[in-house]
Structure 1
Amino acid sequence: MITKRNFIAILPCLGSCFGAQADGFPDKPIRLIVPVAAGGSADLLGRLVGQQLSELYKQPVVVENKAGASGHIGAEYVSRAAPDGYTLLIGIQPVQASYRIYPKLNYDPGKSLDTLGIIGSFPSVVLVHPSVAANDISDLIKLAKASPAALNFGSAGPGSATHLGAELFLRDAGVKMTHVPYKGSSAASADLMGGQIQLMFENLPTAIGLMKSGKVRALAVTGAKRSPSLPNLPTVAEQGVPEYEFVGWYTVAAPLGLPPEVAKKLSADIHKIVHSPGLASRWADLGVTPIGGTVAQSNEYVHSEAVKYTKLIKDAQLGL
C-alpha cells in the first residue's frame, strides 16, 4: 500500500521520469490534422509547418485532411485524442474563434483545445469575377446598394475567415449580399472563377494564385495597411470604409492536458520554425506575418478573437 510518506518519497523520481520523457519527445511519428479540404491556405501553411517539424525532429509528421462542419470534424477528433503531443491540429478561425455559429457541437473548442503557437496572420483579398461591374470598393458598394440580390459571395464555410471577413464588410459598409457557403475554400474559388458566384474574400496566401490565373479581379486587401506582397492594391479602408480591418490566422493546437514540458517544447519549436530565416521569403511571397509566441500568449490571443467574433455572430445573427 502506498502511504503518504512513501508517495512523498517517490515524487522526485516522478519528476525526473517525466523530465526524461519530455526530453525524449518525439520518439515516433506525429499526426498533424488539417481540418479542411486540401488546396486551401490552411492546408498550404499546415504542410509547410509539418515539413519543418519533421526535419527538426527527425520523425515523420503525417499531415491528414479531416474536413467537414467548417473544421469541427477534424478539431473534435483532435480534442478527443490522447494529450501526448503526437496528435496536433492546424487551428482555424471557425474552430477557435467563431465556433458559436454552431450551438450544437459535441465538444467545446474553447475548453478542449490548447493553442501552442500562432503560425501567422494575413489579410484577405476582395476578389470579383470579371463580369462584375466594379473596379474598386466604391463601385462594389454602389452595386450592392442598387442590386443586393445580384451579388453572391462564397466562403469556405460558416465561420471561416472567408465568411467573417465578408460579414464584417457588410456590417461596416452597410450593404447586403447573399452568402453561399462551400465545403472548403478551393471549391468556392473554383465557382468564383467559373462565374457561379460574384465575389469572395479569399485568404491572401491562396488569393495570389487566383489572381495570377487572370480569371478574377482584385479590388482590395482587408488589412489595416497594404500588403508588401501586393503593394499596388489599396485597402478596403482606403476606398471609403475607414473602420474596416480584417486579418485571418492559423495556429497549431493540441488536446488540452499535454504535459507542460511537451507543450513548452512544441511551442518553442513552432516559434523557432515560423521565424526561421529559411521561411522568411516564403512567408513574404504568401503575405503571411509570422507570429509564434508562447502557449500563454497564443491562448490569450485566440480567446480575445473568440470574444470579438462571438459579438459579430450575435449582432449579425449568424448562428445556425
Structure 2
Amino acid sequence: MRLSTFLRPLLASLIAVGSVFPAAAQDFPTRPVTLVIPFAPGGTAELIGRAVGKSMERHLGTTVVVDLRAGAGGNIGAAHVAQTAAADGYTILLGSASLASNASLMKLTFDPRKDLQPVAGICIVPNILLVSANSPYKTLPDLLAEARRNPDKLTFGSSGPGTSSHLAGELLKAATGTRLVHVPYKGSGLVYQDLIPQRVDMLFDLQGSALANIKGGLVRPLVTTAARRSSSLPDVPTVAESGFPGFENGSWIGFMVRTGTPPDIAAKIERATILALQDPAIRERFATIGAEPIPAPSAEFGKYVLGEMDRWEKMVKEGRLQRAQ
C-alpha cells in the first residue's frame, strides 16, 4: 500500500477538524518538545525518528529536540517516558517493535499496555539476513543445511536482547527447527566488526542500516523478512520465498506519550506526525529502506500495537520463545 494512498483520506479529515481543537491544544506547544529515541545513533529507527521529528516542527510550531536514551533493547528510554516524563505532550517516545515483544519477554519496571499511549504510527522496516561477503553461504538453504549438520555451531549477532535483530533470529530458529547461538552486542554497528571477518556467522539488520555495507560489498544479503521483495534490493528473496511461507517480520516504529496526556494535545501530535509523513523527503527515505506503512491514526495504531503485544505473548505461552530470566 502506498503511503500517500493510505494517508490522503485521513489528512483531509484532520485538516477539516484542525480549527476546532480545544484551547489547551491551541496553546500547545509553548516550548520545545522532546523526542526520546531509545536507541543508539546511526540506526534506522534513530534516523527515521529524527527525520520525522524535524519535519513535525513546522506543523507543531516549535523545535523537536532529540534525546537519545539507548540501552536494554529500548527499555531505558521507554521507562523514562512511562515513569518519569510528565503526561503533558512535551515528551514523546519513539516506540518500536521491541517494546511490544519486551512486554512478554522481559521483566520491565513499567507496563507498556497501561503506562504508554500510542499516538501515531510511522512505518515498519524489514530485516535483512546478512553474512560476510567471504562467507561460504550463498543462500538461506545453504546456511540452514549447515545448521542442521552442526547444531549450535552457527552464531547470529544482534543489537542486544529483545531487539528486532535478536527476535528475527529467534523466529528463524523457531520456523526452521534449527539451533543457532545468539551473540548479543550493544548495537548492530558493533556486530559488523565481527561479521565481516566471520567471527560471527550472520546478522539480521534493518534494511536501512544494512544498505551501506551491502552496497560496499562487505556483506552478502541472503533474504529479507518482508512480505515482498524491496525495490532497493530486488534480487534478495523473502524468507517465505525460500521455503517458509508466512514468515514475515520487521521493526515497526511510532510515537507514544505517557498515559494521561490530554486527548486534545495527543491529537495535535498525531496530526503533526501524519502531516510530516507526507513530506516528500520522508517518503523517499521510506522507499529507499523498504519501509511500509502501518496504521497512522492513534486509534488504529493503538490496536496495531496491542495486536503485536498479543502476538509475542502467545508465542511465549506456546513455548516458541523463552522469557528472559
TM-score of the two chains, using structure 2 as the length reference: 0.88
| In structure 2, C-alpha distance between the alignment counterparts of 1:91 and 1:189, rounded to whole Å | 25
Aligned to 2:180: 177
Alignment of 1:31-46 (within 5 A): 31-46=34-49
Return the alpha-carbon distance in structure 2 between the equivalents of residues 208 and 62 of structure 1: 27
* 8 Å Cα contact 1:264/1:294 also seen in 2: no
How far did residue 229 of structure 1 move?
Answer: 1.9
Q: How many angstroms does 1:55 deviate by?
A: 3.2
Matches within 5 A, 1:33-72: 33-72=36-75
Could you tell me whether the CA contact under 8 Å between 2:93 and 2:255 is conserved in 1?
A: yes
Identify the range of structure 1 (277-286 vs 113-122) with the bigger mean alpha-carbon deviation: 277-286
User: What secondary structure is seen at the aligned counterpart in 1 of 2:70?
Assistant: coil
Give distance in 1, aligned partners of 2:43 and 2:322. Answer: 23
Aligned residues: 302
- The answer as to whether partners of 1:36 and 1:71 remain within 8 angstroms in 2 is yes
Deviations 1:5-59 (A, max 9, x none): xxxxxxxxxxxxx921211211110111111111211111111111111233332
Shift of 1:99: 2.4
Distance in structure 2 (CA, Å) of the matches to 1:319 and 1:63? 31
Question: What is the alpha-carbon distance in structure 1 between the residues aligned to residue 279 and residue 145 of structure 2?
Answer: 44
Structure 2 Cα separation of the partners of residues 114 and 124 of structure 1: 26
Q: Which residue does the alignment assign to 2:266?
A: 263
Residues 82 and 116 in structure 2, CA contact (< 8 A), matched pair in contact too:
yes
Give me the CA root mean square deviation.
1.7
Tell me by how many angstroms 1:317 deviates. 4.1
Aligned twin of 1:242: 245
Identity %: 36
Matches within 5 A, 1:163-242: 163-242=166-245
Aligned to 2:88: 84
Work out which structure has the larger RCO, using CA pairs closer than 8 Å and 6 or more positions apart in sequence.
Answer: 2
Distance in 2, matches of 1:259 and 1:222, equals 37
Mapping of residues 304-315 of structure 1, within 5 Å = 304-314=307-317, 315=319
Separation in structure 2 between the aligned mates of residue 72 and residue 316 of structure 1, nearest angstrom = 22
Structure 2: tracts of 5 or more residues without a match = 1-20
Structure-to-structure mapping, 1:87-102, within 5 angstroms: 87-102=91-106
Q: Partner amino acid for 2:102?
A: S
Judge conservation of contact 1:274–1:291 (CA < 8 Å) in 2.
no
Helix, strand or coil at the partner of 2:306 = helix
- Tell me what 2:144 maps to: 141
Larger radius of gyration between Structure 1 and Structure 2: 1
Q: List alignment gaps of at least 5 residues for structure 1.
A: 1-17
SS of the residue corresponding to residue 138 of structure 1 reads helix
Q: Deviations over 1:123-165 (max 9, x none)?
A: 1111012343210111011011112332110111222111111
| Aligned-partner Cα distance in 2 for 1:300–1:192 | 37
Instruction: Tell me how far 1:191 sits from its aligned partner.
Output: 2.8
Which stretch has the larger CA shift, 216-225 or 241-250?
A: 241-250
Distance 2:240 2:321 in 1: 24
Q: What's 1:288 paired with?
A: 291
TM-score when normalising by structure 1: 0.89
